[in-house]
Amino acid sequence: MLSAFANAFRTPDLRRKLLFVLLIIVIFRLGSQIPTPGVDVANVRTCVDIAKDGDSAGLYNLVNLFSGGALLQLTIFALGIMPYITASIILQLLVVVIPRLEALKKEGQSGQTKITQYTRYLTLGLAVLQATGIVALARSGNLLAGCNEKLLHSDGTATFLVMVVTMTAGTAVIMWLGELITEHGIGNGMSIMIFTQVVAGFPASLWAVQQSKGYWVLGVVLAIGMVIIAAVIYVEQAQRRIPVQYARRMVGRKMFGGSSTYIPLKVNQAGVIPVIFASSLLYLPAMIVQFNQNSSSSVLDWINAHLVRGDHPLYMILFFALIVFFTYFYVSITFNPQEVADNMKKYGGFIPGIRAGKPTEEYLSYVLSRITLPGALYLGLVALIPLIAFAVIGASQSFPFGGTSILIMVGVALDTVKQIESQLQQRNYEGFLR
């Protein structure tokens, strides 16, 4: 492993790409520490410390996770990469619904370029909405409940607009940095930015466990974490390979086809998207309670008791059920068995023992539904690990080894290592994965 890293840095082209990625990451992390103009830094830090001791930050855990803690500190990169993730998910869903977007997707690279441009515009629009909401909550004092400190130097409209514009511009800069990594570095830029922000919160989460429970519990958490990482790697790499045979055909004077390949169906076909969907949906009840703190009713009290705290059994059951549902939903809109079967038939491909056309479509649907079930259960169990840890050992809700964070870390790390591996093998070096 160490020799593979040495070989990667010995190659001038690969070394330049790796150093460029590290430079962008440093710039990204520096921007996550620079406060937005108009923010009272001392009071914000005091309120963040209070929030860490209580549950007031729980409402923003997902967005705060993707910003590396920058959200609650109201920095220029406070929104992180979350607007881009949301915009990408929305565009993926709209491609299935809107015929124009579906036609663009089928056009190849030119169509994908236009969809990417639409994603950028939607990202900026969402960034404006999210920045407006965050700044409004900070100005009213409801961003971090339980803290009476004033977060902004001024409540004026000018300060409000400057903060919204600054946070929106920060999101645009993050998009640009991610695209620079994709173009001039190694790996997917946006994925690496997300990975950076998730990893940035790891030391603080581990140190919080040590301070609250001691070194013995920290050792147990690290041991459990290694087991979880190994299990996640195993499942993320697992796939069902459906063999495909292409018949020989004559085109002019040349013979084509006669080759064998396979369709790789991953156990976790949906990735981390179902967890994000379920988390976002379950934040709605908590947001309703947050905006109605001064009013009291039996409905609000029930929501606050059952659907806000992550350690409640009803919350866990509902979270698990939503993840399973969204896994099936997302897989159904991203993988079209009919389209795959039609393409195979068009180019003379068939699955051995299965007739082309409708039987192939039914077979792919059957296999996909069977393989999605363990993937959905796996996502649900991994996502519940932080909630269970919070209920059992009283660790913070940002428990590092589980949920969205571990899925993102393992997925992005595996993808980036594979890309470095392929570039090393092109230069006749041994890769990372032996």
Q: What is the DSSP letter of 36?
A: P
Q: Give the per-residue pLDDT at 56.
A: 45
| Percent above pLDDT 70 for the chain | 78
Distance, in Å, from the CA atom of 378 to the CA atom of 238, rounded to the nearest integer, reads 12
- The mean per-residue pLDDT over the stretch 128-151 comes to 77
Q: Give the per-residue pLDDT at 159.
A: 87
Q: How confident is the model at residue 392 (pLDDT cuts 50, 70, 90)?
A: low
What stretch of H or E contains 400? none
Q: How confident is the model at residue 112 (pLDDT cuts 50, 70, 90)?
A: confident
Domains of the chain, residue spans = 1-200, 202-401
CATH of domain 202-401: 1.10.3370.10
pLDDT digit string (tens) for 321-372? 988 998 998 888 888 888 888 888 887 788 888 888 888 888 989 999 889 9
Q: What count of residues does the chain have? A: 434
Q: Which residue has the higher pLDDT, 300 or 430?
A: 300
Q: Give the per-residue pLDDT at 394.
A: 58
pTM: predicted TM-score of the whole model, two decimal places: 0.77
Pairing state between β 239-246 and 349-350: antiparallel
Q: Which residue has the higher pLDDT, 172 or 292?
A: 172
Distance, in Å, from the CA atom of 202 to the CA atom of 120, rounded to the nearest integer, reads 29
Whether the pLDDT of residue 169 is over 90: the answer is yes
Give the class (CATH, top level) of 1-200: mainly alpha
Whether the pLDDT of residue 53 is over 60: the answer is no
Distance, in Å, from the CA atom of 204 to the CA atom of 198, rounded to the nearest integer, reads 11
Residue 258 — left, alpha, or beta (φ > 0 → left; ψ -120 to 50 → alpha)?
left
pLDDT digit string (tens) for 18-46? 899 999 999 988 888 888 888 877 877 77
Fold: same for 1-200 and 202-401: yes
pLDDT digit string (tens) for 194-230? 888 888 877 777 777 777 777 887 888 788 888 888 8
Task: Lay out the sheet containing 349-350: strands in order across.
Answer: 260-266, 239-246, 349-350
